[in-house]
Amino acid sequence: MAKSKLEEINRNIYDIKNKDDYEYKIKKGLTKEIVEEISKQKSDPEWMKELRLKALETYNKLKLPTWGPDISELNMDEIATYVRPKTKLNSSWEDVPEDIKNTFDKLGIPEAEKSSLAGVGAQYDSEVVYHSMKEELLSQGVIYTDMETAVREYPELVKKHFMKCVPVNDHKFVALHGAVWSGGSFVYVPKGVKVDIPLQSYFRLNSPESGQFEHTLIIVDEGASLHFIEGCSAPKYNKVNLHAGCVELYVKKNAYLRYSTIENWSKNMLNLNTKKAIVDEGGQVDWVSGSFGSKISMLYPMSILNGKNAKTEYTGISFAGGGQNLDNGFKVVHNAPNTSSVVNAKSISKNGGKCTYRSLVKITENAKNSKSSVSCESLMLDDFSISDTIPVNDIQTDEVEFSHEAKIGKISDKTIFYLMSRGISEEDAKAMIVRGFAYPISKELPVEYAVEMNNLINLELEGAIG
């Protein structure tokens, strides 16, 4: 029988390990000397160097979180925080070295760029190796570049926003990020400009026992709109890798930003990422998030609705297999009247994997006539997987509409029998149920990414039966 497109995939594309062939890899550990060396390597302006050193001090003062998954296995003495690949930033794939280009080819990035993206950034270990954007966006004044270039070329804009949305002392791993950040993307969409086709940055971590600390800063100015897609993956090594990126989003008056993520880090990755958006009057930020990889993930994107009529939606799915502990969720602060938030979170766990939905809904006294509706649903594929929901709701005014709904379920034998009675094998029936469960998320993604997400689901379900 002809295999459908969805079946013709294998894990190999994510697992390709290139030789750990770098131009420069900083020695492992985290000291003032190392941070100064990174700063020197990157020719930071003075303010950035100071920010890094201050962040390091903060890092040393802050304690590990006392809640959530156990991350005590992380030993910063064993992590190289900066790995520069053997190439400069290129604007043509032809100039990207063969092995790196091959990796991105297999991940389908140049192909997607041709067919469905307005711009692409590709980061390999600590540096962005490729960046490109369509001419017409350039002429409309859209800026899309790597973070280092932005620091050099748009110092005012960057300085005004860099780590202002996510302050360095937010938590220990933000402080770490501030000290050693490298790479990432900067986007500025000028007033009134609607970017119809998505921009995408892809982050690939190849080097073992290293960390990726990319910084993404996006400003969507008044009345403008943008869809930004972030993809991440890494091959699996036996030792721990660390990802502590930071995403700061500024959505100005009546602007719209959709931020989509497909994360498929390898299962030795600690993903301690921080993402926040500040939304002004009438603005809207929508998060779409698929979390498949990582050994441990602690990821809670946050929307701060600061202007009246600001809106946010979060649509996310986590899929934890054996040995994975995905502690994901969403935080929202309603800080102005008539603001609204809609959360639709789903999780799937199998083979002893653990998914936790951890959330915060805070509605301040200012936020009269606001609405918040939260729905979270979990699906466990066997009896020894774990699913948990830990919501915190802090509602300081009565004049709100708030609802929270949580459902935890299993695939029922009856449903499997029903599908099997239509000629569908047990394995395919389970995959179909899971794909259907994930559909509200995948339908929010551009079709190529929805296909990738279904591929990932099928990958995760391979061999799950029996």
Name every residue whose Cβ is closer than 8 Å to that of residue 344 and which is 6 or more positions away in sequence: 313, 314, 315, 316, 375, 376, 440, 441
DSSP, res 43 = T
Q: Check: CB of residue 203 under 8 Å from CB of residue 242.
A: no
N- to C-terminal Cα separation, the chain: 22
- Structure tokens, 99: 């092995």
Q: Cα(92)–Cα(88) distance, rounded to whole angstroms?
A: 11
Q: How far is the CB of 408 from other proteins (least distance, A)?
A: 15
Q: Which is nearer to other proteins, 3 or 63 (CB)?
A: 3
DSSP 3-state assignment of 321? coil
Residue at 390: amino acid letter: I
CB of 307 to other proteins, least distance (A): 34
Half-sphere exposure of 452 (CA within 13 A, CB side): 24
In eight-state DSSP terms, residue 80 is B
Q: Minimum distance between the CB of residue 427 and other proteins, rounded to whole angstroms?
A: 10
- Is residue 422 packed enough to be buried (19+ CB in 10 Å), middle (13-18) or exposed (0-12)? exposed
Least separation in angstroms between CB 409 and other proteins: 11
Query: Which three-class secondary structure state does DSSP give residue 199?
Result: strand
- Closest CB 42 distance from other proteins, rounded Å: 45
Residue 427 to residue 460: CA distance in whole angstroms: 12
Q: Give the shortest CB-3-to-other proteins separation in angstroms.
A: 11
DSSP run (H or E) holding 458? helix 447-461
Q: Which of 260, 269, 275 is nearest to 69 (CA)?
A: 269
Q: Are 316 and 341 in contact (CB under 8 A)?
A: no
Residue count at the site for other proteins (CB under 8 A)? 26
Nearer CB in complex with other proteins: 47/417:
417
Is 436 a binding residue for other proteins by CB under 8 A? The answer is: yes
Residue among 210 and 315 whose Cβ is closer to other proteins: 315
Q: Which 230-249 positions form the footprint of other proteins (CB under 8 A)?
A: none
Contacts of 265 (CB under 8 A, 6+ apart): 205, 232, 233, 234, 241, 243, 271, 293, 294, 297
Instruction: Tell me the window of 36-44, 224-232, 270-278, 433-441 that interacts with other proteins (CB under 8 A).
Output: 433-441
Q: Output 384 or 418, the one with its CB closest to other proteins.
A: 418
For residues 3 and 114, which CB has a smaller minimum distance to other proteins in the complex? Answer: 3
Cβ atoms of 248 and 165 within 8 Å: the answer is yes
Stretch that binds other proteins, among 72-80, 159-167, 202-210, 437-445 (CB under 8 A): 437-445
Q: Rounded CA gap, 377 and 344, in Å?
A: 8
Closest approach, Cβ 454 to other proteins, in A, equals 11
- Give the nearer residue to other proteins in terms of CB position, either 54 or 435: 435
The nearest distance, CB 399 to other proteins, in angstroms, is 32
205 three-state secondary structure: coil
Looking at beta carbons only, is 406 or 432 nearer to other proteins? Answer: 432
Q: How far is the CB of 343 from other proteins (least distance, A)?
A: 18
Distance CA 450, CA 448 (A): 5
- Nearest residue (CB) to other proteins, 9 versus 432: 432
For the record, the structure tokens of 131 come out as 């960046």
Binding mask 413-432 for other proteins (x = CB under 8 A): xxx-xxxxxxxxxx-xx--x
CA 279/CA 284 separation, integer angstroms:
7
Fill in the per-residue mask, 191 to 230: x = in contact with other proteins (CB under 8 A), - = not in contact. Answer: ----------------------------------------
**CA 203 to CA 72: how far, in whole Å?**
25
Helix axes 447-461, 109-116, angle to 10 degrees: 150
For the bound state, the minimum distance from the C-beta of residue 4 to other proteins, rounded and expressed in Å, comes to 8
| Smaller CB separation from other proteins, 180 or 411 | 411
Decide: residue 286, CB within 10 A, 0-12 exposed, 13-18 middle, 19+ buried.
buried
Residues 362-421 close enough to bind other proteins by CB under 8 A: 412-415, 417-421
Whole-number minimum distance, CB 422 to other proteins, in Å?
A: 4
Q: Which is nearer to other proteins, 53 or 419 (CB)?
A: 419
Q: Which of 439, 448, 451, 464 binds other proteins (CB under 8 A)?
A: 439
Site stretch for other proteins (CB under 8 A), options 76-84, 102-110, 350-358, 438-446: 438-446
- Nearer Cβ to other proteins (147/438): 438
- Output the smallest distance, CB 457 to other proteins, in A: 11
Q: Give the nearer residue to other proteins in terms of CB position, either 19 or 414.
A: 414
Which residues contact other proteins by CB under 8 A? Answer: 1-2, 412-415, 417-426, 428-429, 432-433, 435-440
